[in-house]
Amino acid sequence: MKEYRVRKVWLWLFTIIAPTLALGFLTVAVVTVFTPDVNPTQTLAQKALSSSIWVLLGLVMAYAPWAVWTGRLSLSETGIRIKYGFRTREIHKEQIRSYSLMPGVKMLAMPLGPGSIWIYGSDKNKIISIPGYFEGRAELLAWLDKVTSDKVAG
């Protein structure tokens, strides 16, 4: 079994940016509740709801670095195992029918995020989307080519 981690650049990027955003979101949540309105247009319940949304966004951003640091992609003869945070997902090679490469996120010509690999099952529905943050992309594509060509030949 070969195991790949998230690329170093993405590890450090998530580690630096996500906590900063989390602190910003939590600050907005506190300011939303405790700052008086000049023209009170929101009720107390609306302020609390708005604040809870900001707290939720802050918690999600605080979780992101841990999920990325624990991320693993494992390839074996029997299938793929992907782990992010508490979630582990296993796909056996018998379940895989085909795959496609999806482009990454771009702003004009500047790439912001890597592309992902979508894996489809025998019912032509997407089983999983593997983000491009992992090392070993070439090995994964070679493995998927072998698995899908075995389906066509067999």
What would the pLDDT profile of 114-125 be if each residue is shown by its tens digit? 888 899 998 889
**Are the C-beta atoms of 150 and 143 separated by less than 8 Å?**
no
Tens digit of each residue's pLDDT (9 = 90 or more) over 42-90? 777 888 888 899 999 999 888 888 888 888 989 888 899 988 878 899 9
- Label residue 152 by pLDDT band (50, 70, 90): low
Sign of CA dihedral 84, 87, 122, 151: positive
User: How do the domains of the chain map onto residue ranges?
Assistant: 2-69, 75-153
At the second CATH level, the architecture of 75-153 is: Roll (2.30)
